[in-house]
Amino acid sequence: MQVYHKSKKCRICSSKNLELVLDLGIQPPANSFLKKVSSSEKKFPLRLFFCKDCFLLQLVDIVDKKLLFSHYLYLSSASKPILEHFSKYAFNVFNKFWKNKRKPLIIEIGSNDGSLLKEFKKLGANVLGVEPASNVSKIALKSNIPTINKFFTSKLASSLAKKGKPNVILANNVVGHIEDLNDFVLGIKNLLDDDGIFVFEVPYVLDLLKKTEFDTIYHEHLSYFSLLALTKLFKKFELEIFDIQRQSVHGGTLRIFVAKKERKKIKSKVIKMINFEKEYGISKIRTYKQFGKKVLILRNSLQKKIKQLKQEGKMIYGYGAPAKGNVLLNFCQIDNKMINFIIDTTPLKQNLLTPGTHIPIKSPTKVIQKGAGDIFLLLAWNYKKDILKKEKRFRKRGGKFLIPLPNPRII
Ligand code: TMP
């Protein structure tokens, strides 16, 4: 099996007009937590390129999807704020389109442990998940969410369509994972009922750029979407973005509603947002070059701050072991000499080591013993509000948090 290859053309428009905007070095896949230190740990280049023709920001370093996704350690259900987000999400979509109507069929691509489908099921929908990770799809099945353990492709879409076309296709934080975007969107088009909608969430490139969220760039995330780039992709398949909603999860997400051409009225806010992207410079290479420079400045200042804290004799721990935390740790060369351990609520991650930096991950009960002189580097910075609230007692005892982005600061 070839585990890595370099793509030479744009994932949407096949242009070769790609320019490097940020090099994050040679990194292990961000979710490849280890049982023990191994000399054969796999690492691959991690570089961000911009397509000057369709404006898609993307990786060209492709790690085989089976290596990344067949056994997966991220569980939606491990983060309470995500479960709250899913509950509101299902309520919003269901009531907007299916209140007092027949039972819709909802298919979710990348359905993980079934957390989102569970919410739709509670509201009365028929649900089906498609999830490539076998360990995670087993968890979904155990909680009675029918799940097909496969990667979604246009071929799978055709066989699913024979059994009934869904009214809604969902895809959360998964469209950015897809290498063959054209085949994926073809599958959506062929599977979706003619009056159906495709609702998906992606981290929004405007948030990535504005808040210097460089650590969300990792091998799993092949594309970083703007509406400008997505519009070009959907147009090829006679699909249209008719509505959008900005969401705060994952550091800034865009929820996007897509339908078959001329089936839904396009909301004015879609046009407004596209115009805003143009004004912001989403189609200009200089916008991304500036972002690249900001990332290097951030790395310097975080390294300086950690060095200073260690010189003052402070103990530093990590809070949360998200995939993005591993990008930050590897890129900023913060390892187990600087961080004693990381706490994380995901049972599957506990007692493992972070990839590349080899920091042990423990269960959060450890936080109860910490206080004055202790600092948690907030790697799960996207849950800052919830975590600061949850750790009120630690902070009362004099414990501090080091927030890494967009500018490192202690609170
Ligand atoms: P995510 O940002 O990709 O959702 O990952 C967040 C990680 O942080 C996940 O491994 C769960 C963990 N986490 C905690 O350890 N404590 C918390 O309070 C929250 C909200 C998340």
pLDDT score at 1: 67
Give the integer Cα–Cα distance in Å for 216 and 322.
10
Q: How far, in Å, is the centroid of ligand 1 from the Cα of 321?
A: 7
Element holding 90 (H helix, E strand): helix 80-98
SS3 state of residue 344: coil
For 33-73, how does the pLDDT look when each residue is reduced to its tens digit (9 = 90+)?
999 999 999 999 999 999 999 999 999 999 999 999 999 98
| Average of per-residue pLDDT across 170-181 | 97
Q: Is the per-residue pLDDT at 115 higher than 70?
A: yes
| Average of per-residue pLDDT across 226-250 | 98
Q: Which pTM value belongs to this model?
A: 0.95
pLDDT band at 371 (very low <50, low <70, confident <90, very high): confident
Nearest CA, atom 20, ligand 1: 79
SS3 state of residue 102: coil
List Cβ neighbours of 394 (8 Å cut-off, separation of 6 or more).
Answer: 367, 370, 371, 374, 376
pLDDT score at 2: 83
Chain centroid to CA 390: 23
Q: Report which of 322, 301, 304, 321 is spatially closest to residue 312, judged by C-alpha positions.
A: 304
Token pair 């000057």: residue: 52
Half-sphere exposure of residue 257, counting CA atoms within 13 Å on the CB side? Answer: 22
Token pair 């699909």: residue: 239
Structure-block tokens of residue 39:
């000399």
Share of the chain above pLDDT 90, in %: 93
The type of residue at 116 is: L
Nearest CA, atom 8, ligand 1: 320
Give the integer Cα–Cα distance in Å for 238 and 247.
26
Strands 374-378 and 361-362, bridge-based pairing: unpaired
Q: Is the per-residue pLDDT at 179 higher than 70?
A: yes
Q: Is 326 in the pocket of ligand 1 (CB under 6 A)?
A: no
Cα–Cα distance list, 295 to 28, 212, 217, 221, 292 (Å): 19, 7, 12, 18, 5
DSSP string, 127-189: EEEE-S-HHHHHHHHHTT--EE-S---HHHHHHHHHT---SEEEEES-GGG-S-HHHHHHHHH
For 191-203, how does the pLDDT look when each residue is reduced to its tens digit (9 = 90+)?
999 999 999 999 9
- 215 DSSP assignment: G
Q: How far, in Å, is the centroid of ligand 1 from the Cα of 331?
A: 20
For 316-338, how does the pLDDT look when each residue is reduced to its tens digit (9 = 90+)?
999 999 999 999 999 999 999 99
pLDDT band at 176 (very low <50, low <70, confident <90, very high): very high
| Average of per-residue pLDDT across 121-127 | 95
Q: How far, in Å, is the centroid of ligand 1 from the Cα of 69?
A: 19
Q: Is 345 in the pocket of ligand 1 (CB under 6 A)?
A: yes
Q: Is the per-residue pLDDT at 366 higher than 80?
A: no
Mutate to test the pocket of ligand 1, among 79, 215, 343, 359 (most ligand atoms within 8 A of CB): 79
Mutate to test the pocket of ligand 1, among 84, 136, 345 (most ligand atoms within 8 A of CB): 345
